[in-house]
Structure 1
Amino acid sequence: MEDLTQSWSRLTLTNREGPGCSLTATDSLEELSILAKFFTKRNLSIDAIARTFNPIWRARNGFKIQNYGDHMVLFTFDNKNDVDRIIASEPWSFDKHLVAMQKYDKETPIDEVKFERASFWVQLHGIPPKYMTKEAALKISGVIGEVTVPKEFKEIDGGNFLCLQVSIDLSLPLCRGRLISLENGRQVWISFKYERLPNVCYWCGRLTHDDKECEIWIDNEGTLKPDDRQFGPGLRASAFTPTRKMGLTVPGYYSSRKKAETTIVTTPMEAEVTANLEQLAMIITENTQANGRSETNRVTPTKELKCNAQSNNNCVAESMTRDINYGLENNIKTDMNVEPLLDPQQHEFQLHSININT
């Protein structure tokens, strides 16, 4: 009997079989899903898939896996950030074969979902330094697929190459490069290299099958030689880390020196010392006022710190030493536990606990 789910439109439906039942959001599961297509001929093991992706994805609350057959697997999460991060981190592979993924709303029948694209980070090598710009990179990489426009140039700057994220049509061969023309009439070949590239057919350049499954190989009855390959390992590239510093802008010599002479550099340690000095000065002032003595000729710690950057550390040390000595000489008691030690070589402060209680 023919499957009614495929032929109901040709049937005359009764009142019970016809429209009248509507499902809403309240009837659905509050879950987020990723549907994946594994481009391999081997049988899939759910346990092996879990062992592979669990330590890589590190999902906050874990995930569920369900095998739907035809190498289609449904991953279910309860955290939107996990889903967004996994999709943004394409490409993925399993057993060195491509795994195409997409968000799935569970409304479209699984057998109707098409896996036509996958995202890759593609490096552009051979661009003349004059044209190492975001605009040039976008123009060159347009033939690869749908390019994600970067916000800033530093996101794609690899030093001697540029790197962009591109959504590739899986029905087409990988683009090996592009011949570009410069203003002087010279032609330059720009090579495309793909990061985290899984198995690719070196006969036709597609990611959906291996060499021995390629129609070109089969049509030639296995007589092709390695020299007949139009693609090769040169398509692969090591992953690029944009956080690595690839360049530096150096300011003018004299302008930087002038700025250094007028700028007071305050480290966290100096800020702590200053706070201790102010507290000590307050205690000293209270005690001297109680004894009827004047402090008009004494420089306060706050004023003492107003010096240039090069002598700032010395000022703090001298001021603090003078305050502590003053307190000791005049039998001023305090529970502050501070001791300034200035390393003349490193110009850094260290705090050691001592009790100033005389």
Structure 2
Amino acid sequence: MVGPASEMRDDILNDWSRFSLTEKEVPQVTLIRSNKKSEFALAAKFLTKRVLNAEAIGRTFKPLWKTQRSFQVQDMGNHIMVFVFETKNDVERVLMNEPWCFDKHLVLFQKYVSGQPIHQLQFNLVPFWLQFHGLPIDHLTDETTVMIGNLVGNVIHSQIKEKLMGGDFLRIRVNVEITKLLCRGHWVLLEAGREVWVLFKYEKIPNFCYWCGLVSHDDKNCGKWLVSKGILDITNQEYNAWLPAPPFNHGKKTMVSVKGYEDEEEESSQFALGTVER
């Protein structure tokens, strides 16, 4: 996301080609990189309109992140903060549990790459756990999850298959572009040309716009609403509160395998013969 300040800075940098440097401007300066500032650092873009305070942000995220070691928060302006951690594990823990929000608005995180100016960072992706509702039972498979997930964005594959099953729905983690409208669902083709509508629900989604379906602002700050001066009928909103998914219980098993009596007897006899190891 590029603001007016960033555009002005780029214009100034492009204008240097027209200038002649003075004697004091010619010598190069070799800078020493600070490993602590970049090795375990995350840059974050806050989508809230509120004025940010680094100390308040640190107090907010400390009990949520539960980091093993301390971390620093630095305000870079333009609603961008840089978090510097002491360990790699704390960085990975923050990223694994995205998305995060502040003031009920999304915070977009990315690893800071050494040598990259802050104003050049592009904050346009956020990982969501998506739920797919409305599929027949015989299509609740890992393959179906990945196929539908790829329709929304780049799938983040999970090694734990139990996370992909939510009872009567599927779920998968996907990187979603915030510059595009939220996908509410998709028609999928089944056997014999039959189609079903698969409804999408987003876990841990904060404020989003009920008018245009973007997560970059809420409905009260939407240009469509502001231009209308508040006279639009909310019954015409194409997005609504059904899009967020309820909290998912990771510890609850939705599928178990129960052995029959013959299976148990067969296993017991094999164990008695020494063919089964325990």
TM-score (norm 2): 0.86
Alignment of 1:67-78 (within 5 A): 67-78=75-86
Structure 1 unaligned residues grouped into runs of 5+? 265-358
Once the two structures are TM-superposed, the CA of residue 14 in structure 1 deviates from its matched residue by 5.4
1:105 aligns with 2:105: no
Return the alpha-carbon distance in structure 2 between the equivalents of residues 220 and 197 of structure 1.
Answer: 26
2:20 to 12, 19, 30: 12
Once the two structures are TM-superposed, the CA of residue 52 in structure 1 deviates from its matched residue by 1.1
Return the alpha-carbon distance in structure 2 between the equivalents of residues 114 and 178 of structure 1.
Answer: 28
Deviates more, 1:134-143 or 1:49-58: 134-143
1:90 corresponds to: 98
Once the two structures are TM-superposed, the CA of residue 50 in structure 1 deviates from its matched residue by 1.6
1:49 aligns with 2:73: no
1:329 corresponds to: none
Larger RCO of the pair (alpha carbons < 8 Å, separation 6+): 2
1:65 is matched by which residue type in structure 2?
V
2:35 to 20, 29, 37: 29
CA contact (8 A) 1:121 1:194 kept: yes
2:156 to 117, 140, 148: 148
SS of alignment partner, residue 66 of structure 1: strand
SS of alignment partner, residue 138 of structure 2: helix
CA contact (8 A) 1:157 1:242 kept: no
SS of alignment partner, residue 242 of structure 2: helix
CA contact (8 A) 1:176 1:193 kept: yes
Return the alpha-carbon distance in structure 2 between the equivalents of residues 82 and 15 of structure 1.
Answer: 47
2:197 corresponds to: 189
1:161-216 deviation digits (Å, cap 9, x = unpaired): 11100100000111000111211222211011001110011001111111121111
Alignment of 1:139-178 (within 5 A): 139-178=147-186
1:286 corresponds to: none
Return the alpha-carbon distance in structure 2 between the equivalents of residues 255 and 145 of structure 1.
Answer: 43
SS of alignment partner, residue 172 of structure 2: strand
Return the alpha-carbon distance in structure 2 between the equivalents of residues 17 and 170 of structure 1.
Answer: 41
1:249 corresponds to: 257
Q: How many residue pairs get matched?
A: 261
2:146 to 138, 145, 149: 138
1:226 corresponds to: 234
CA contact (8 A) 2:145 2:164 kept: no
SS of alignment partner, residue 135 of structure 2: coil
TM-score (norm 1): 0.67
Residues 214 and 79 of structure 1, relative CA distance in 2, 3 Å threshold: same
1:215 aligns with 2:237: no
Return the alpha-carbon distance in structure 2 between the equivalents of residues 144 and 126 of structure 1.
Answer: 17
- Identity among equivalent positions (%) equals 39
SS of alignment partner, residue 35 of structure 2: coil
2:121 is matched by which residue type in structure 1?
V
- Larger Rg computed on CA atoms: 1
Return the alpha-carbon distance in structure 2 between the equivalents of residues 209 and 224 of structure 1.
Answer: 17
Once the two structures are TM-superposed, the CA of residue 241 in structure 1 deviates from its matched residue by 3.5
SS of alignment partner, residue 35 of structure 1: strand
SS of alignment partner, residue 98 of structure 2: coil
Return the alpha-carbon distance in structure 2 between the equivalents of residues 9 and 22 of structure 1.
Answer: 22
2:225 is matched by which residue type in structure 1?
W
2:4 corresponds to: none
Structure 2 unaligned residues grouped into runs of 5+? 1-7, 273-278
SS of alignment partner, residue 206 of structure 2: coil
Return the alpha-carbon distance in structure 1 between the equivalents of residues 22 and 192 of structure 2.
Answer: 75
1:187 is matched by which residue type in structure 2?
E
SS of alignment partner, residue 143 of structure 1: helix
Deviates more, 1:235-244 or 1:223-232: 235-244
Deviates more, 1:253-262 or 1:130-139: 253-262
Return the alpha-carbon distance in structure 2 between the equivalents of residues 84 and 210 of structure 1.
Answer: 29
1:104-141 deviation digits (Å, cap 9, x = unpaired): 13522212212111111011111111111111111122
Once the two structures are TM-superposed, the CA of residue 251 in structure 1 deviates from its matched residue by 2.7
CA contact (8 A) 1:59 1:82 kept: yes
Return the alpha-carbon distance in structure 2 between the equivalents of residues 116 and 163 of structure 1.
Answer: 22
